Structures are given as structure tokens and as C-alpha cells.
Amino acid sequence: LQAILNRLEVRYRMLADNDPRLAVEWEDRCYLRNRFVRVESGDGVVEGVCRGIDKEGALLIDTHSGLHRLVNGVVLGIE
């Protein structure tokens, strides 16, 4: 438990300091990258291929109408 808390503290400090390495680590761990996803957000359901996460933490979804940047929502499906 102590090791987990120590790692959380390091990440929290990175977040508080706007450390750009945190965004890189987050993007590297994006499970949805290059997968077809359906995401329900405040604007309805967005379907397309996830292209990753931007520097501000938004999920990037490539759809037939262009690239959508989602800052909140629920992933309904993954293919």
C-alpha cells in the first residue's frame, strides 16, 4: 500500500506542477488508441477511431465528420 501511495504522490506532484511528462505517460498508456469506440457525451454519441489523448487530457476521436475532442463522456463500446 505504501508503494502505491508513493507513486500516487509523485503523479500528483507532476499534475500540480504541470509537468509535461505526465501527459506523455498518459498518452503512452491509452488503451483505446487505434480502436473503434462509441462514446456518449453531452452532445450525444460519437463513433469513430480513437487517436489518443491530447495534452489537456481530452480523448481524440476521428469520425467521418472530422476529429472530435471529448473532455467527458462514457465509453459505450470498444472494437
Nearest to 69 by CA among 78, 53, 58: 58
Q: Are residues 49 and 75 in the same domain?
A: yes
44 residue type, one letter:
G
Q: What is the pLDDT of residue 71?
A: 94
Is residue 25 predicted with pLDDT exceeding 90? no
Contact between 48 and 36 under an 8 Å Cβ cutoff? The reply is yes
Q: Give the CB-side neighbour count of residue 49, counting CA atoms within 13 A.
A: 5
Q: How many domains does the chain have?
A: 2
pLDDT tens per residue, range 40-70: 998 899 999 999 999 888 999 999 999 999 9
Enclosing domain of residue 42: 31-79
Q: Are residues 6 and 24 in the same domain?
A: yes
Mean pLDDT of the chain: 93
